[in-house]
Chain A
Amino acid sequence: MSHATKEELGAAASVELNKVLASGKALTPKERLALPAQEMPAQPPEVRVRNIQEVALGYTPEQARVEAMRCLQCKTKPCVAGCPVQIDIPGFVGAIADADYARAIGIIKRDSLLPAVCGRVCPQEEQCQAPCTVGKSLKSLDKAVAIGRLERFVADWERDGGKMQPPAVKPATGRKVAVIGSGPASLTVAADVRREGHEVTIFEAFHKFGGVMVYGIPEFRLPKKIVEVEVDVLRKMGVQLVPNFVIGRTRTLKELMEKDGFDAVFIGTGAGLPKFMNIEGENLVGVFSANEYLTRANLMKAYLRGVAATPISQSKVVAVLGGGNVAMDAARTALRLGAEKVYVVYRRTEKEMPARVEEVAHAKEEGVIFQFLTNSKRIIGDEAGRVTGIECVRFQLGEPDKSGRPRPVEIPGSEYMMEVDTVIVAIGNDSNPLIKQTTPELDTTKWGNIIVNEDCATSIPGVYAGGDIVLGAATVILAMGQGRRAAAAINKQLCGGGAG
């Protein structure tokens, strides 16, 4: 596949756009379906594997308008039902088609606070874009209206154009809300609660704000700058941001409410406890959890070798175990840190991989080697306890399991060895137990997820929770959606002077 540059893609879109504008007539549905689906401009694979800059470059305005014109403005709006926060998609897409970007971003912001983030990292092909009529009519999910890219386009237009306005804050109410963690769930709660005039303080265990958006999702997929701007908006709104503060250690949740006088607390601490495979050799030097690998690389900037203090292995051959977004991020980060070969070892087939389709495609373009229907059996090391290889075994698809997916079964005697010096375990996270341990009254499931009702209220009055700590490892948009719900309930509690 030849690689078209942003200029080429933009120029082609200009031609299309001028044709449409010149005709002066409204497009018929047939004409809309005939417009070319706009490809996302991206850094060429051979260039981007050597840098950490963002891979996807964003649409040109012409591309955005042509893509937006592909939307049929369906009365039934199936796309809206697919979006976890029900953004008025035909509304904002229509505004982009009219080149009214300010109206477009206004419509999105009624329901989403982090469009620049969600436009980049939402699994759109499973959410808003899955039921899109255009994709259905053209019999290809790839041809659905690129809702996420359009969302990103207007969010970037607003930010890069310096048009971001912090939302208005109502007069002070004298009520205080503590927000624990600073991932997408927490940032959303902070904004929505602050708007109503309540005092908001965010407590974050790390020295940077943004949660997984800064320590997990790599720069080349979500530039840190974007998260920083969102955090700055909160600062401008008067939200207090306290770094290096671990609730459950520096202060307990109880103390926040009893000593520090917070009227309500939101817990958005995420799913931060890495799972391991429990196979032989997992404690060898050179075996990392994806969290450790990505944190060293991202938050601690280990890619700046010789400048950053946090070291990271200089790997030659890397095996990543897992098939989700986290595995893709780890594999692509390893390439950027100079690995010669990176394998992704996944038990099922490509079809079952939970990673976003675009990330898998990007990983392949960059040279990541996929070993499907394969599982790791044990990791082998040398005298010094360093990884030298991994033993894998092949699987084949058998009878469907309870979820209806064909169950992978081991092929006896198919074991084989791969020589690797680094293994990254990316098989998911459990919930961080710190707050639960120091707040026994908090009801949790047996996996440690906090139990909440439809208002995101926990078993303790005045305490709410949302995001991955409730849902298990989920997505940014779901975390944000829960944040909105919790904020609404907190605002209601504080204004009504009700329970708390």
Chain B
Amino acid sequence: MIETHVIVRKKQLSPEVFEIEVKAARIAEQRKPGQFIMLSMDVDLGERIPLTIADADTAKGTITLIYQRVGQGTRLLAQLGEGDAIPVLVGPLGTPTHIEKVGAVVGVGGGIGAAPLFPIMEGMKKAGNRVVTILGARTKELIFWEDKFRAISDEVIVCTDDGGYGRKALVTEPLKELCAREPKPALAVAIGPAIMMKFCAEATRPFGVHTLVSLNAIMVDGTGMCGGCRVMVGGKVKFVCVDGPEFDGHLVDFDGLMKRQAAYKTQERAALDHACNLDKMAAEKKAEG
């Protein structure tokens, strides 16, 4: 029953974003849209970090993860190549997205948020919905999987902050336009940085369009044991790892979420600087040697 989670394919999507396909037959078989895994780079000393299952191939027994290199854990992960194994990988975790035929669904993927959005929109399409996807990023280089989204969407709208590709706009602009259209979408799904999800929820609120968001709270175990991932939703405490990660965006206390996300900023900065210095030293040694 013990599986070794070997990376079978690795692709760099942009300077800081990577796509990997990992052997995990049982997770591939079980996973549903909206679910994530937790991985750790060291059994004794590692931190468990959550990543969404962006795609899966049950025939090959693999799952696809897309991650952005932001801190120590993702940096170590980025050092692994094809053929290397991820020491700790557990999942699928989280409550799956409730997928049903509702009519029209608008998906908004901001930056790395496009990864978790993909399986949800794919599920929505399969359930018979009309699917419109909005992809947004700072620059053209940061947009990924546009072709995959085109294959499952009735319409794809790309926006960049600098206008270098697609519309020069924030994702909230086309989202508002779609909500104003008749018939208006039955559901919006917005996934990206907390601040983006907050504004998407504000954009849909006046139209009364039900809006799902997927929260990236800081997690420790991912099984409901620690309560570290708690957020307020509709005035109640919810654990993102078991009650979520998806919630009604109109009820989420985003400001609280953002404050908790910043909890370890300084320590993480320090850990990263420390690690980068070690890398630099190693590189210098190599150059000298």
Contacts and interface: CB of A to CB of B under 8 A. Distances in A.
Interface of A: 201, 203, 205-208, 215, 240, 242-246, 249-251, 272-274, 276, 278, 282-286, 288-289, 291-292, 295-296, 300-301, 304, 306-311, 313-314, 384-385, 432-434
Interface in B223-271: 223-228, 230-232, 237, 242, 256, 259-260, 262-264, 267-268, 271
Contacts of B41: 309
Contact of A207 (B88, B220, B225, B256): B88
Interface stretch (B43-51, B153-161, B198-206): B43-51
Contacts of A432: 223-225
B253 to A, nearest CB: 8
Given A307-B45, A310-B47, A245 B90 contact: yes
Interface string B9-50: 000000000000000001100100000000011111111100
Contacts of B2: 240, 242-243
Contacts of A385: 256, 259-260, 262
Nearest to A292: B226
A309 B267 CA distance: 10
B230 A240 contact: no
B264 A272 contact: no
16 contacts: A207-B40, A208-B43, A243-B2, A245-B90, A249-B91, A249-B92, A278-B237, A285-B259, A289-B228, A291-B226, A295-B221, A295-B226, A310-B47, A314-B267, A384-B262, A433-B224
Contact of B225 (A274, A288, A301, A308): A274
Given A203-B1, A273-B224, A295-B226, 15 more contacts: A207-B90, A243-B88, A245-B90, A250-B92, A272-B223, A273-B225, A274-B226, A276-B227, A291-B225, A295-B225, A301-B44, A310-B46, A310-B48, A311-B264, A384-B262
Contacts, number: 128
A434 B224 contact: yes
Contacts of A250: 26-27, 30, 90-92
User: Looking at B90, B227, B268, which has the most chain A CB atoms within 10 Å of its CB?
Assistant: B227
B103 interface: no
A217 to B, nearest CB: 15
Contacts of A240: 1-2
A207 B40 CA distance: 9
Nearest to B261: A285
Contact of B45 (A288, A289, A295, A301): A301
A289 B239 CA distance: 12
Contacts of A283: 230-232, 237, 256, 260
A76 B11 CA distance: 73
A206 B274 CA distance: 28
Which of A205, A282, A288, A432 has the most chain B CB within a 10 Å cutoff?
A205
B72 interface: yes
A244 B228 CA distance: 19
A243 B242 CA distance: 19
A246 B88 CA distance: 13
Interface string B79-94: 0000000001111110
Contacts of B88: 207, 243-244
A286 B1 CA distance: 39
Interface string B267-287: 110010010000000000000
Contacts of B43: 207-208
B73 interface: yes
Given A205-B223, A272-B225, A309-B45, A285 B1 contact: no
B219 to A, nearest CB: 10
Interface of B: 1-2, 26-27, 30, 40-48, 72-73, 88-93, 220-221, 223-228, 230-232, 237, 242, 256, 259-260, 262-264, 267-268, 271, 274
Contacts of B228: 288-289, 292
A208 B90 CA distance: 12
A206 B93 CA distance: 13
Contacts of A291: 225-227
B220 A292 contact: yes
B274 A306 contact: yes
Contacts of A310: 46-48, 220
A299 B246 CA distance: 28
Enumerate the 8 nearest inter-chain pairs by beta-carbon distance, A residue then B residue, closest first: A385-B259, A292-B226, A309-B47, A244-B90, A289-B227, A311-B267, A272-B225, A310-B47
B52 to A, nearest CB: 15
A283 B228 CA distance: 9
Contacts of A300: 45-48, 220
A250 B92 CA distance: 6
Nearest to A289: B227
Contacts of A292: 220, 226-228
Contacts of B223: 205, 246, 272, 432, 434
Contacts of B268: 311
Between B220, B260, B263, the greatest number of chain A beta carbons within 10 A of the residue's beta carbon is seen for: B220
A84 B226 CA distance: 29
B92 A285 contact: no
A289 B242 CA distance: 16
Contacts of A295: 220-221, 225-226
A410 B260 CA distance: 32
Contacts of A434: 223-224, 242
Contacts of A208: 43
B275 to A, nearest CB: 9
Given A272-B224, A432-B224, A285 B47 contact: no
Nearest to B264: A311
A245 B263 CA distance: 29
B77 to A, nearest CB: 12
| Interface core residue of A215, A273, A432 (most chain B CB under 10 Å) | A273
Contacts of A313: 263
A249 B30 contact: yes
Contacts of B224: 272-273, 432-434
Contact of A285 (B26, B30, B227, B262): B262
Contact of A309 (B30, B46, B231, B242): B46
Contacts of B27: 250
Contact of B30 (A203, A251, A274, A289): A251
Given A276-B237, A433-B242, A309 B226 contact: no
A30 B267 CA distance: 62
A206 B90 CA distance: 8
A295 B259 CA distance: 22
Contacts of B264: 311
A320 B2 CA distance: 39
A97 B153 CA distance: 79
Contacts of A309: 40-42, 45-47, 72-73, 271
B218 to A, nearest CB: 10
Contacts of B262: 285, 384-385
Nearest to B274: A306
